[in-house]
Structure formats: C-alpha cells, structure tokens
C-alpha cells in the first residue's frame, strides 16, 4: 500500500508540473510578480480561518479545560492540519496529533477525542452548507444544462444529509452502533473489542455535550461557517491582486466548488494535482482563463506551504 500511495503522489506531482508547463511558467511567474509587496495580505485570510476554527473547537469541549485557550488551540490546529495535508488519510491523520498535544496539557484522552470528533462533525457540516451555497450560486455563473443542475442539487443534498447524519450519530452513540454493525457482520477486530469500554465513554461524552450544551453546537457551527466565508474571501483578494477583480459571490462560488473537487482527492496528500486542475477548469468556466487559474492555484499552494511550515515548527516545539 505504501508503494501505491507513493506512486499516486508521484503521478499527482507530475500532473501538477505538466499543467503549469502547458499554461506557461514564464507567464505564471510574471503574474506572481504582480502581487508585489502584498504577499502578507494573502496570508491573512487563512490566519482568520484557523482562528475561527479554533474558536469553534473551543466551544466543543463539554467542560472548558483549564490552561487551554483559543490561542493554544490555534497553534494546535496548525500542527494537526500540517500532518493532515502531508498524509493521505482523508484529513484524519492529524487528529491523533491534536489529541496527544491536548493530553500533554493535562486533558484526558476521552475529553480530547470527544471534542475533536464533535469539532470534525461541525466542520464537515459547515463545509457541506458552504458547498451547497456555492452550488446555489453556480447556475447564475456557469452555463449548465438542466441535467447538470439537478446533479449539482442532488450532490449538494447528499453532502448535507451525510454530514448531518454524522453529527446525529454522535448524539445517539456512534461508536456503539459501529461496533454492533461490525459484530453482526463478524468483522470486529480484537483490538477494537478491547477498547469497548473507552469507546462507550467517548459515546457518553459526546451525547452529554449535545444534551447539555446544544447552544454551543450552534455557536461552533456559526463560527465554522464564518471561517469558510473568509476562505472564499481569500479568492476575492487573490484575483484582485492579480489585476483580475471578480465579484465576491463569484469568489465564494469558485472556492466552494474547488473545495468540493479537492475533497474528492482525499487520498492524495494535499489533494495534489486534482485541486489545482479543478482551479484551472473553474477559472476557464468563469472565462478568467487558464493562466489566471494556474496562478491562483500556485499562490494558494505557496500560502499553504507557509502555514504548513508554521504547523511543523509548532509540532517540533511541542515534542
């Protein structure tokens, strides 16, 4: 499996280089120079996104832990998300890292894991709503047939229902239900059986959160949605700096659909190649051109690389 993952990563990297080569590296670099001294402005939106997500995560603790602040969770998320980007595990590879960092602060593993699962459910649900918003705007920006419009609507609805289902299962015993299904299918690993008591405690912790602190769920969801809207604002800023200003709704739509495309390549570290190809195709569909799409994608990769480096430094310091 390791060799297959490496092969997929190499193919994705080669595809990315090929796409930029076709568009033309000299032209891309010329457009990058248009940003000039405004590069820090491009880094600002993701700082705010991570801050909103950290505040959202803070709301997901059943009891507010002493010594754990939104500032601490901000840096914890950077470290965990850096691992998420670098591992082909559907944005789950960094979650154990976040839990272990919380454990080092004196938080029990059950409390840390419960907050992470609740936070992840809220993040996925807010992403689904954000993508649905983009799909609602798309028909007014893209020339699509009725069949494709219905397909978009169906995909958006399925995404929201799946995300909502994940959150509801947390309230009613997700771990117990999963173990019951695996037992019935005679596919319950021994190691999982040995952790049954811990998983039941996790279920109880999540259920208690939803029964006693439902208002915190809605607050966390609102903060997470604000994070996604700021993520879309980043698109608006980038195209404005490139001398190709677009409407804010167009930026939100492009970002939402790019998020959907990127989520389909969860098995590739950093969604390498797929996300970038999607950005180029979406830019072409909006008549912005392949050059703008490629430059926009590269700028996002550079921004991602900066915050990834910060996350890795946080992780190294924590160790």
pLDDT digits (tens, 9 = 90+) for 49-77: 999 999 999 999 988 878 889 999 999 99
pLDDT of residue 91: 63
pLDDT of residue 88: 64
Phi, psi of 67 (to 5 degrees): 85, -10
pLDDT digits (tens, 9 = 90+) for 123-179: 999 999 999 899 888 888 877 667 767 777 777 788 888 889 989 898 888 888 887
Residue from 314, 283, 313 nearest 298 by CA: 283
Q: What is the rounded CA–CA span in Å between residue 61 and residue 118?
A: 9
Asked whether the beta carbons of 242 and 31 are under 8 A apart, the reply is yes
Give the residue ranges of the chain where pLDDT is below 70: 1-9, 88-92, 144-145, 148, 265-267, 269-270, 319
Q: What is the rounded CA–CA span in Å between residue 104 and residue 109?
A: 10
Phi, psi of 265 (to 5 degrees): -110, 40
Asked whether the beta carbons of 296 and 239 are under 8 A apart, the reply is yes
Q: Please list, in sequence order, all residues whose beta carbon lies within 8 angstroms of the beta carbon of residue 195, skipping any fewer than 6 positions away.
A: none
How would DSSP label each residue in 13-77?
HHHHHHHHHHH-HHHHHHHHGGGGGGHHHHHHHHHHHHHHHHHHHHTT-SS--TT--HHHHHHHH
pLDDT of residue 74: 96
Asked whether the beta carbons of 53 and 123 are under 8 A apart, the reply is yes
pLDDT of residue 229: 96
Q: Which residue has the tokens 């930029």?
A: 20
Q: What is the rounded CA–CA span in Å between residue 222 and residue 129?
A: 11
Residue from 150, 142, 70, 77 nearest 116 by CA: 77
Task: Compute CA 309 distance to the chain's CA centroid, rounded to the nearest angstrom.
Answer: 17
Q: Where exactly are the structural domains of the chain?
A: 2-318
pTM of the predicted model, to two decimals? 0.89
């Amino acid at each position: 499996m390791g060799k297959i993952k490496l092969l997929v990563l190499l193919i994705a990297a080669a595809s990315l280089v090929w796409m930029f080569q076709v568009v033309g590296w000299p032209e891309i670099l010329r457009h990058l120079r248009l940003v000039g001294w405004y590069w820090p402005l491009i880094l600002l939106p993701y700082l705010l996104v991570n801050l909103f997500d950290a505040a959202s995560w803070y709301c997901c603790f059943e009891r507010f832990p002493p010594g754990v602040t939104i500032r601490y969770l901000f840096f914890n998320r950077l470290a965990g998300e850096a691992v998420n980007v670098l591992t082909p595990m559907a944005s789950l590879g960094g979650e154990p890292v976040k839990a272990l960092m919380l454990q080092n602060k004196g938080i029990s593993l059950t409390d840390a894991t419960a907050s992470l699962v609740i936070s992840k459910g809220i993040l996925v649900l807010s992403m689904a709503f954000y993508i649905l918003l983009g799909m609602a705007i798309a028909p007014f920006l893209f020339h699509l047939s009725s069949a494709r419009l219905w397909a978009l609507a169906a995909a958006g609805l399925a995404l929201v229902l799946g995300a909502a289902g994940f959150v509801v299962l947390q309230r009613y015993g997700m771990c117990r239900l999963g173990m019951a299904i695996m037992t019935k299918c005679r596919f319950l690993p021994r190691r999982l059986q040995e952790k049954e008591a811990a998983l039941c405690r996790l279920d109880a912790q999540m259920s208690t959160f939803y029964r006693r602190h439902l208002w915190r769920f809605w607050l966390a969801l609102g903060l997470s949605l604000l994070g996604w809207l700021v993520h879309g604002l980043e698109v608006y800023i980038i195209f404005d700096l490139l001398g190709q200003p677009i409407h804010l709704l167009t930026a939100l739509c492009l970002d939402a659909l790019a998020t959907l495309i990127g989520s389909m390549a969860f098995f590739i570290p950093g969604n390498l190649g797929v996300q970038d190809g999607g950005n180029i195709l979406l830019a072409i569909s909006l008549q912005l051109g392949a050059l703008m799409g490629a430059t926009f994608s590269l700028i996002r990769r550079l921004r991602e690389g900066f915050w990834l480096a910060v996350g890795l430094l946080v992780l190294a310091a924590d160790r």
